[in-house]
Structure formats: structure tokens, C-alpha cells
């Protein structure tokens, strides 16, 4: 078995190999405490560093201040700055959610309704090419080669939410070199962003001149039942979390008959079930988006590039998570166990879990790879 591919299904939450085990999570008691403190925050009776925070463990203070600040911002209450700035002071440079949001509020005046996050590929490409995300993608590619069985013949591949095509540009040569297929026959690129499709199509057509490369501007959930393939391989890297669980389930069920193998790369977080304004959602967003922003705004990035990437890629997602209810918002990351359960339910007994690997592990955010397919 490949290096650190876990046996499936995953064991308990406390398993040392489990991604995200070290990431801050709130117990039901913590949630009750935060909910109990919120009216104090909204009424102005509670202040950062005041008595209300005495009940919180130290490691929760930054996340609680983010929760308080975003609750006030959602009510257009200027005391949001006090809480977010106090949160930024304890978060330091590792987590930048409170600091970034405070700056965004200063610049925009309120939590503005998000524009589409992927209109211009450059904003995401900056994030995808940061050292941590390069390492994550390299691990995903190596996992794919290890986990897929050797295969001969021509590959028909579908990339769901292909973005700028960077993932397939890395993955396809590695698969062929690793003895997974002999050549690439068809590459189907699917993405709702016309600019992403255009960039990806140009890139893949240049790299694979003998293959049929086709692009479709669409959301998976709108076309899943029309995509008949067949596909030897479907990849979805950081894209399937853009739909709620029930929509993922329907789209994957519609795709299942046409595919042999599915590889996913996703963030290990629960942004699907908690409702907007809840402590669970705020605490998780504070960590994961705070971590992402810390990477994007890091000292080695030119200011202009960092600001553009944060404002055009992260801000729309962040604001959506903080202001829009389930069904409307754009982000629905799920924990790895939930993905496994959903895939089993959606794709039927012939498609089985075949491997998983932690693709990136950080103190605040983890990403994992998953492989399901028809066993040999
Ligand atoms: C975070 S980017 C990932 C791009 C690429 N897969 C990668 O890993 O570099 C997410 C992509 O998913 C696309 N997307 C968003 N919602 C989608 C949906 N419902 N169906 C298919 N793609 C979607 C976005 O337009 C965007 O290009």
C-alpha cells in the first residue's frame, strides 16, 4: 500500500493519522458558552479582555473575537472594529481573518455581498502557486499515481472545476510516467467561469496536441446528468465544496454510472452543516480562512498581488460564509469522514473507497486527497 494511504473507512476522531485532529474545534459546551456571551457582545455589555472572556480557554479567545466582530459587522455595528482589532492582536501573523476583515470593512464600509470569486483566474492562481499549495498539489499528484491501478490504453479524463488547468498540467504527465494509461485521448474541462475555461483549454491543448480537449462553461450540478463520458478518471480539486451536501450527492449520483475513478482534493472543515452566524462556522472560518489569508498576505508576496488575491478570491468566499444562509452561500467544505459517507451513499456499491492521504497538514488547516472507484 502506498505511503500513508490510510485504511478505510477512517477510524475514530482521535486517530493520530486523522487530518484536522489538531485543528481547533468547539465542543457543545463551548458552543453554548459562545451563544450565551453573544447577547452581551451585541448589547455592548461585554468588551474584549472584559469579564465575559474569562470563561474561555486561551486558545479560543482569537476565534471568539472573530465571532463577536463578525456578528457585529453583520448588524452594521461599528463596534465590530473593536472586536476584530482585538482578535487580530492575539492572532498575530499566523491567522489573518480578523485583521483582513477589519481592513476590508474600513475600505468597503460594510460586509459587501460577494461578487463571483473566479471571474479573473489571477486571483486564485496566486493562491495555488504559494509554496504550501504547491506542496499540497505535488502530494495530491503523487497520491494519484500511488492509488490508481496501473492501466494501459487511452485516458478519458474530466476535470470538474478545472480552474486554470494547472492541476491537470501537473497530473497528466505524472500519470503517464507512472504507468497509469499510455496516452491521453480526451480531456473534458468543466468550470462555470468562462475565463478559467479559456485559460485551461489553451494550456491543455498546447500540452496535449493529439488529445481532444473540450471546455464546458457550466456548474457541475447543472450538467452532471448530461455528461455521459465514459470517463476513466474524474478529478475535482477544491471545487466540489461549492455546493451543499444534498446537491453534491445528486450531482455525484448522476455522474457515477459514467466513471471508473474519482479523485478529490478538499479542505478538511465543516462549512456545510453549521448555519450562518453560528459559533461553529465562525470558529472554523477563523482558522481556515485566517490561515489562507496569512499565506496570501505573506511577506514574500508583492502588496498588489496579495491584495488582489485576497479581495477577489478569498473575500467573496469569506463574506458569503459570514452573511449568507445555507443554500445561498458559495462554500460547503466538509470533513473527510463526511465526504466518505456521502460518496458511498451517492455513488452506489460498485464504487468503493480506494485510498486517502493527508495532502497538507498545518496547525490551522488541513487538506486531504480521496480516491474512490471501481476496484480492479
Ligand atoms: C478553488 S478553484 C480550484 C481550481 C482547480 N481545480 C485547482 O485545483 O487549481 C475552484 C474552481 O471551481 C469552480 N467551481 C465553482 N463552483 C463550481 C460548480 N458548482 N461546478 C463546477 N465548478 C465549480 C470555480 O469556478 C473555480 O474555478
Domain spans in the chain, listed from the N-terminal domain onward: 28-118+274-323, 121-270+332-373
Judge whether residue 123 has pLDDT over 90: no
Q: Is 115 a residue whose pLDDT tops 80? A: no
What is the model's pTM?
Answer: 0.93
Pocket test for ligand 1, best of 165, 194, 236, 242 (most atoms within 8 A of CB): 242
- Ligand 1 pocket, residues with Cβ under 6 angstroms: 118, 124, 128, 160-163, 166-167, 190-193, 196, 219-221, 237-239, 242-243
Average confidence (pLDDT) over 92-110: 92
Residue 155 exposure: Cα atoms within 13 Å on the Cβ side: 29
CA–centroid distance, residue 160 to ligand 1 (Å):
7
DSSP sequence for 37-89: HHHHHHHT---TTSGGGGGS-GGGHHHHHHHHHHHHHHTT-TTHHHHHHHHHH
Atom of ligand 1 nearest to the CA of 236: 6
Distance between CA atoms of residues 343 and 201, nearest Å: 28
Ranges of beta strands (E only) in the chain are: 154-160, 183-191, 212-217, 231-237, 259-267, 352-361, 366-373
Separation of CA 319 and ligand 1 centre (Å): 18
Sign of CA dihedral 209, 212, 218, 221: negative
Q: Which residues pair with 255 in a beta bridge?
A: none
Of all atoms in ligand 1, which is nearest to the CA of residue 121?
27
Instruction: Point out the ligand 1 atom lying closest to the alpha carbon of residue 221.
Output: 19
Protein residue with least CA distance to atom 11, ligand 1: 161
One-character DSSP codes across 131-186? HHHHHHHHHHHHHHHHHSPPB-SEEEEEEET-TTSHHHHHHHHHHHHTTB-SEEEE
CATH number belonging to domain 121-270+332-373: 3.40.50.150
Cα 236 to ligand 1 centre (Å)? 8
Q: Which of 79-88, 309-318, 349-358 has the lowest mean pLDDT?
A: 309-318
Q: Select from 123, 192, 248, 329 the residue to mutate for testing ligand 1; criterion: most ligand atoms less than 8 Å from CB.
A: 192
pLDDT tens track for 221-250: 999 999 989 999 999 999 999 999 999 999
Amino acid at each position: 500500500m502506498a505511503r500513508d494511504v490510510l485504511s478505510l473507512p477512517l477510524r475514530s476522531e482521535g486517530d493520530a493519522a486523522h487530518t484536522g485532529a489538531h485543528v481547533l474545534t468547539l465542543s457543545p459546551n463551548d458552543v453554548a458558552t459562545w451563544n450565551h456571551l453573544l447577547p452581551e457582545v451585541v448589547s455592548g455589555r461585554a468588551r474584549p479582555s472584559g469579564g465575559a472572556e474569562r470563561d474561555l480557554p486561551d486558545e479560543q479567545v482569537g476565534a471568539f473575537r472573530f465571532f463577536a466582530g463578525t456578528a457585529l459587522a453583520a448588524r452594521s455595528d461599528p463596534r465590530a472594529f473593536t472586536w476584530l482589532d482585538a482578535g487580530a492582536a492575539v492572532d498575530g501573523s499566523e491567522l489573518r481573518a480578523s485583521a483582513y476583515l477589519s481592513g476590508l470593512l474600513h475600505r468597503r464600509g460594510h460586509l459587501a455581498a460577494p461578487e463571483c470569486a473566479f471571474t479573473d483566474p489571477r486571483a486564485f492562481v496566486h493562491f495555488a502557486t504559494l509554496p504550501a499549495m504547491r506542496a499540497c498539489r505535488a502530494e495530491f499528484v503523487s497520491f494519484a499515481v500511488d492509488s490508481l491501478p496501473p492501466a494501459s490504453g487511452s485516458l478519458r479524463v474530466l476535470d470538474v472545476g478545472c480552474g486554470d488547468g494547472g492541476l491537470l498540467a501537473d497530473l497528466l504527465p505524472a500519470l503517464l510516467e507512472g504507468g497509469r494509461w499510455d496516452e491521453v485521448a480526451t480531456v473534458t474541462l468543466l468550470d462555470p467561469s468562462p475565463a478559467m475555461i479559456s485559460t485551461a483549454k489553451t494550456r491543455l491543448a498546447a500540452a496535449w496536441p493529439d488529445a481532444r480537449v473540450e471546455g464546458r462553461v457550466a456548474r457541475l450540478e447543472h450538467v452532471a446528468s448530461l455528461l455521459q463520458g465514459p470517463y476513466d478518471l474524474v478529478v475535482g480539486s477544491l471545487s466540489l465544496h461549492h455546493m451543499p451536501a444534498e446537491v453534491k450527492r445528486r450531482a455525484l449520483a448522476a455522474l457515477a454510472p459514467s466513471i471508473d475513478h474519482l479523485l478529490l482534493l478538499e479542505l478538511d472543515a465543516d462549512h456545510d452543516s453549521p448555519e450562518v452566524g453560528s459559533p461553529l462556522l465562525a470558529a472554523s472560518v477563523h482558522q481556515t480562512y485566517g490561515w489562507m489569508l496569512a499565506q496570501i498576505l505573506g511577506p514574500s508576496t508583492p502588496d498588489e498581488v496579495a491584495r488582489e488575491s485576497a479581495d477577489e478570491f478569498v473575500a467573496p468566499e469569506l463574506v458569503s460564509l459570514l452573511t449568507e444562509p445555507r443554500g445561498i452561500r458559495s462554500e460547503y467544505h466538509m470533513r473527510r469522514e463526511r465526504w466518505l459517507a456521502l460518496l458511498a451513499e451517492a455513488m452506489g456499491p460498485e464504487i468503493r473507497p480506494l485510498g486517502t492521504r493527508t495532502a497538507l497538514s498545518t496547525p490551522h488547516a488541513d487538506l486531504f486527497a480521496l480516491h474512490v472507484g471501481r476496484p480492479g
